A = this chain, B = another copy of it.
Amino acid sequence: MNQFQVRTDLALETREKFEEDNVEIKGVWVEEEYREKSEIKITTMVIETENGAKAMGKPKGTYITLEAANMDCQDEDYHREISLELAKIIKKLLPRKEETLSVLVAGLGNREVTPDALGPRVVDNMLITRHVLKEFGKYAFGEDEVNAVSGIVPGVMAQTGMESQEIIRGVVDETKPDVMIAIDALAARSTRRLSRTIQITDTGINPGSGVGNHRHGLSEKTMGIPVIAIGVPTVVDAATIVNDTMHTLIQAMEENSHLKTLSTGLNALNDMEKYELIRELLSPQLNTMFVTPKDIDESVKRLSYTLSEGLNIAFA
């Protein structure tokens, strides 16, 4: 059994780790689709059993990952093809309702730290309708069916002295939406995934995840309403990057004749011992650090449009 902890918010990466280690996980069902024209890969993973949840370290539910290599590239209409796919996925996960659906969009994260500003900036771009609907009714929009969209940017604990969870639960109790959408920046394991992957899940957000780690759980259990979480990885943990490179060093040693003698020594260590060795070498300060691209400002700006557009289409 592998003891290396994989610090990632992406269910996809957790599963990949198992595949790398040739471990089969029961109770997890996966399906992949590829949209030729838009070059988007969609992976649907369903964790069906408690055993699957335990193995994956993530709650039971559906995790949909949308990958597009060019998501981070500049594009005149902010990758509307991705927004459209995203809207379809969201619509599938939304609860069915005859009448107006009331949706609260929560933009988690710290607006003042660039890679953590994704959630707040998505809410900035949302088409907010709840107050207009409340005052003028749905005829204000000249359409038959309009949903009531509200938005909240709770900030982070250093700014408010409160947990996001406390603020949002208060707002949910007071305004009673039918469903909540939580937008957040995620931590990935691989730098390759940064700004190129969207994860959508009906399990909400669970403790210990996210860039700033600023959240307790936001799920149907804690909120009393369905919570759909949408996230994009914008950082990698500093410790993860070092960890991974070490791992690559060890692998290189085993393959490189020049380093053959070394590998024997290192292989004498079991995985647990290797893990401990690396832990010792890592500066404790690394745990409070993250790695992010130098042009993260441009990525977050673009991604916030792609996501808000997807949400606007889904709720229109």
Contacts of A295 in B (CB 8 A): 158, 288
By CB atoms of chain B within 10 A, which of A155, A248, A268, A297 has the most? A297
Asked if A6 lies at the interface with its beta carbon under 8 angstroms from chain B, I say no
Q: State which of B161, B249, B260 has its C-beta within 8 Å of the C-beta of A281.
A: B249
Produce 1/0 per residue, A129-154, CB < 8 A to B: 11110000000000000001111110
Is there an interface contact between A261 and B265, defined as CB atoms closer than 8 Å? yes
Produce 1/0 per residue, A273-299, CB < 8 A to B: 000010011110110111111111110
Alpha-carbon gap, A293 to B161, bound state (A): 20
Contacts of A51 in B (CB 8 A): none
Is there an interface contact between B170 and A161, defined as CB atoms closer than 8 Å? no
CB distance from A238 to the nearest CB of B (A): 5
Chain B interface: which of A12-20, A32-40, A108-116?
A108-116
Contacts A112-B297, A172-B170 known; A130 to B291 CB distance under 8 Å?
Answer: no
Is there an interface contact between B161 and A150, defined as CB atoms closer than 8 Å? yes
By CB atoms of chain B within 10 A, which of A159, A259, A281 has the most? A159
Asked if A93 lies at the interface with its beta carbon under 8 angstroms from chain B, I say no
Interface of A is mostly: helix
CB distance from A190 to the nearest CB of B (A): 9
Counting every copy of the chain, the complex holds 4
Q: Which residue of B lies closest to A236 (CB)?
A: B289
Is there an interface contact between A292 and B289, defined as CB atoms closer than 8 Å? yes
Is there an interface contact between B291 and A238, defined as CB atoms closer than 8 Å? yes
Chain B interface: which of A23-31, A198-206, A239-247?
A239-247
Is there an interface contact between B297 and A293, defined as CB atoms closer than 8 Å? no
Is there an interface contact between B167 and A171, defined as CB atoms closer than 8 Å? yes
Contacts of A249 in B (CB 8 A): 246, 249, 277, 281
Asked if A173 lies at the interface with its beta carbon under 8 angstroms from chain B, I say yes
Produce 1/0 per residue, A258-275, CB < 8 A to B: 111110111011000000
Chain A to chain B contacts (Cβ below 8 Å), 18 pairs: A114-B114, A131-B158, A151-B159, A151-B161, A152-B155, A162-B175, A167-B171, A169-B170, A170-B174, A173-B173, A213-B294, A249-B249, A252-B281, A259-B277, A288-B295, A290-B291, A291-B291, A292-B292
Which 7 pairs from chain A and chain B are nearest by CB?
A170-B170, A130-B161, A170-B174, A150-B161, A262-B265, A112-B297, A261-B265
